[in-house]
Amino acid sequence: MILSPTKVLCLALLGCVATTQHASGKNDPEFCASYADLIVSGRTNEVADTIFTDWQNLSRPSIKNHFCSFYRFGFSAGAYFLDLKVSVGGVKFIVARNALLEIEMECGDTVKLYNTRYEKSCRGCGAVWKESDVHGVTLRFPMTADDLAVLAHDYPGHIRLHLPDNVAGSNFTIRRTELFRGEVDRFREQVGSR
């Protein structure tokens, strides 16, 4: 397999060849090359027909609330989803399978999404940057086209991720509603243009 210099650089920076394994347990150069295509192109992996938006900050930690989260939208195999990376100030925590994420819109509509699997926090798992080693999780919430339409119709006002009682701060107001709405619109355009 011949890789372009840009792909080789991406693979070297990401450490993809050393860390990405196929289901057989062996490093898979083909998968790494397709992953490099995803990074080089910015958002789309033509082989898997997968679209992701960039990670955006949803909530920042504060003195009173240590909850930090990032989100991105995705589309793969005809299905929409919302990915959420969550950390809670270095605290170890779990997120139950089918945990509820409620997004309340300013008009009063509520989008209810459910996590696809049980997740236990681990070092770096909720991080967007590789260097971060804070405890966190990455969650996936499948969405319908109707859910996406509600998100595109109005600005989000309040979000609540239902976590165990010992984890505080999972109830917050979105401050950058224009960015969230803009990401929804860009994502719909990307999916619609395919």
118 or 27, which is more confident: 118
Number of domains in the chain: 2
Same domain, 38 and 62: no
Helix/strand/coil for 154:
coil
Range with top average pLDDT, 92-96, 110-114, 162-166: 110-114
pLDDT band at 111 (very low <50, low <70, confident <90, very high): very high
pLDDT digits (tens, 9 = 90+) for 6-58: 454 444 444 433 333 334 333 444 444 444 444 444 444 444 578 999 998 88
Q: Which tens digit of pLDDT belongs to each residue from 93-107?
A: 888 899 999 988 888
Rounded Cα–Cα distance for residues 66 and 171 (Å): 11
Q: What pLDDT is stored for residue 116 in this prediction?
A: 93
* Same domain assignment for residues 114 and 149: yes
Helix (H, G, I), strand (E, B) or coil at 98: coil
Q: Are 43 and 190 in contact (CB under 8 A)?
A: yes
Most confident listed range (12-21, 58-67, 138-147, 153-162): 138-147
- Residue range(s) defining the domain that contains residue 23: 5-42
> Are residues 68 and 161 located together in one domain of the fold?
yes
Q: Which residue has the higher pLDDT, 63 or 120?
A: 120
Query: Phi and psi of 162, rounded to 5°?
Result: -80, 110
Q: Is residue 47 part of a domain?
A: no
Q: What is the pLDDT of residue 130?
A: 66
Q: Is 140 helix (H, G, I), strand (E, B) or coil?
A: strand
- Are 151 and 82 in the same domain? yes
Segment of 42-46, 94-98, 125-129, 140-144 carrying the highest mean pLDDT: 140-144
